[in-house]
Amino acid sequence: MLVVTTNNIPGKEFEVLGEVFGVTTQSRNVASDMLSGLKSIVGGEIKAYTKMLQTSRKEAIDRMIKEAEAKGADAIVMMRFDSGSIADDMQSVVAYGTAVKYL
C-alpha cells in the first residue's frame, strides 16, 4: 500500500475513506536504562533507544496500513507520526493519516 506524507498523489484521483491510526507502546529495559545513564555522562547515541523507536515506527505503520486495508483503501495520504513518553519507562508511537480509494 502506498503511504505518503503529501496531500495528493500525482496522477491519481481518489475519494477519502477516513482517518486511520496505528499505535504501539514499547517499554525500555533495565539494561538499556543503565547504559543510557552512562551515555548521558559521556555523550553519544543510545543505540538501544534508537532501535526501539525504529521498531515502534514500523509497528505503528504496519497497524495503520492494516486499518486502511480493512476500510478498502488503496493508499494513505498525509501520514504523520506522533510520539510521547508514558511514565518513566515507556514510549508510545502513533502513525496516522487519511485512507483513500482511487477513482
Q: Give tens-digit pLDDT for 60-92.
A: 999 999 999 999 999 999 999 998 887 767 789
- The CATH number linked to 14 is 3.30.110.70
User: How much is the mean pLDDT over the chain?
Assistant: 87
DSSP string, 10-65: TT--EEEEEEEEEEEEEE--HHHHHHHHHHHHH----HHHHHHHHHHHHHHHHHHH
Domain count of the fold of the chain: 1
- pLDDT recorded at residue 87: 72
78 lies in which domain range? 2-102
pTM of the predicted model, to two decimals?
0.82
